[in-house]
Homo-oligomer: A and B are copies of this chain.
Amino acid sequence: MKINKENIESVNKKVAENHLNQFDFLANSLDQKNIDVDKLVSELSDFQVAIPSWALGAGGTRFGRFSFYGEPSSLEQKIEDVGVIHSLTQTAGAISLHIPWDVPEDYNAIKELAAENDLIFDAVNSNTFQDQKNAKESYKFGSLSNVNKPPREQAIAHNIEVVEIGKKLGSKSLTVWLADGSNFPGQNNFQTALKHTEDSLKEIYKNLPEDWKMFIEYKPYEPNFYSTVIQDWGTSFMLANACGEKAYTLVDLGHHLPNTNIEQIVSTLMLKGKLGGFHFNDSKYGDDDSTVGSVKPYSLFLIFNELVYGMRNNPQNPYPAWMIDASHNVKDPLEDLVQSLEAIQEAYAKALLVNQDELKQAQLNNDVVLAQELLQDAYRTDVRPLLAQARLARGGALNPIQAYRSLDVRRSLIEERGRHTVASGL
Contacts and interface: CB of A to CB of B under 8 A. Distances in A.
Q: Which of A227, A258, A313, A368 has the most CB of B within 10 A?
A: A368
A313 B60 CA distance: 35
B294 A372 contact: yes
Nearest to A22: B29
Interface stretch (A105-113, A208-216, A259-267): A259-267
Contact of A188 (B139, B363, B369): B363
A285 B221 contact: yes
A137 interface: no
Given A194-B271, A284-B225, A330-B187, A232 B234 contact: yes
Contact of A339 (B62, B233, B332, B372): B372
Given A222-B285, A288-B225, A295 B231 contact: no
B261 A231 contact: yes
A414 interface: no
A261 to B, nearest CB: 5
Interface in A161-206: 179, 182-192, 194-195
Contacts of A189: 309, 360, 363
B147 A294 contact: no
A151 to B, nearest CB: 10
Interface string A248-282: 00000000011111011001101110000000000
A191 to B, nearest CB: 5
B268 A235 contact: yes
A220 interface: yes
A179 B129 contact: no
A369 B332 contact: yes
A140 B368 CA distance: 12
Interface residues of A, number: 111
A421 interface: no
A346 interface: yes
A375 B184 CA distance: 10
Contact of A295 (B29, B228, B283, B298): B298
Nearest to A313: B191
Nearest to A259: B285
A57 to B, nearest CB: 13
Nearest to A359: B186
A70 to B, nearest CB: 15
Interface of A: 18, 22, 25, 29, 32, 59-64, 66-67, 129-131, 138-141, 147, 179, 182-192, 194-195, 220-223, 225-228, 231-235, 237-238, 257-261, 263-264, 267-268, 270-272, 283-286, 288, 290-291, 293-299, 302, 305-306, 309, 313-314, 329-332, 335-336, 339, 346, 359-360, 362-364, 366, 368-369, 371-376, 379-382, 384, 401, 426
Given A184-B291, A185-B305, A190-B271, 20 more contacts: A183-B290, A184-B372, A185-B263, A185-B302, A187-B368, A187-B372, A190-B267, A191-B271, A192-B363, A225-B288, A227-B261, A234-B238, A258-B258, A261-B284, A285-B286, A295-B298, A330-B366, A331-B368, A331-B369, A339-B369
6 contacts: A18-B32, A67-B140, A186-B363, A220-B260, A285-B286, A332-B369
